[in-house]
């Protein structure tokens, strides 16, 4: 049941696809897709994931505006190192979510 999914770690696997599928997982808290080079999509899919604590997406092909995480007060870690086109005011989001560790 995707609605019940809380944690998913597919790091360093051959998985492919678009992160838009996570719109069906609103309770997702921890996501790790590190080194999944064929993962694509817009991080805007996480706009309503208010319980998200960790999003490790480094070295994927995801893109989008970092401000999507603005209202995620419980966010602890976001890793977008080496991703596609990540836009937005990175300094502002780091300041606003000062307890969150960002790698961009």
How high is the mean pLDDT in each 10-residue block of the chain (104 residues)?
Answer: 91 97 95 97 96 96 95 91 91 85 83
State residue 62 phi and psi, 5-degree precision: -70, 155
Residue 55, judged by CB atoms within 10 A of its CB (0-12, 13-18, 19+), counts as buried
Q: What is the CATH number of the domain that holds 73?
A: 3.80.10.10
**68 in Cβ contact with 93 (< 8 Å):** no
> What pLDDT is stored for residue 80 in this prediction?
94
- Which residue range forms the structural domain that includes residue 96? 2-103
Look at residue 66 in the predicted model and tell me its pLDDT: 94
What is the reported pLDDT for 95?
Answer: 85
What is the tally of structural domains in the chain? Answer: 1
| Residue 90, pLDDT score | 87
Predicted structure pTM score:
0.91
- 103 touches 82 (CB < 8 A): no
Tally Cβ neighbours within 10 Å of residue 69: 23
Q: Which structure tokens are listed for 24?
A: 């069906």
Query: What is each CA distance from 66 to 13, 15, 22, 61, 69, in whole angstroms?
Result: 25, 24, 17, 14, 6
């Amino acid at each position: 049941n995707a609605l019940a999914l809380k944690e998913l770690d597919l790091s360093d696997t051959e998985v492919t696809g678009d992160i838009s599928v996570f719109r069906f997982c609103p309770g997702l808290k921890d996501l790790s897709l590190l080194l999944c080079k064929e993962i694509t999509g817009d991080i805007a899919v996480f706009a309503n994931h208010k319980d998200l604590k960790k999003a490790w997406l480094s070295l994927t092909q995801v893109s989008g505006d970092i401000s999507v995480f603005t209202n995620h007060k419980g966010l602890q870690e976001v890793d977008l190192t080496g991703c596609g086109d990540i836009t937005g005011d990175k300094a502002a989001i780091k300041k606003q979510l000062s307890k969150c560790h960002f790698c961009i």
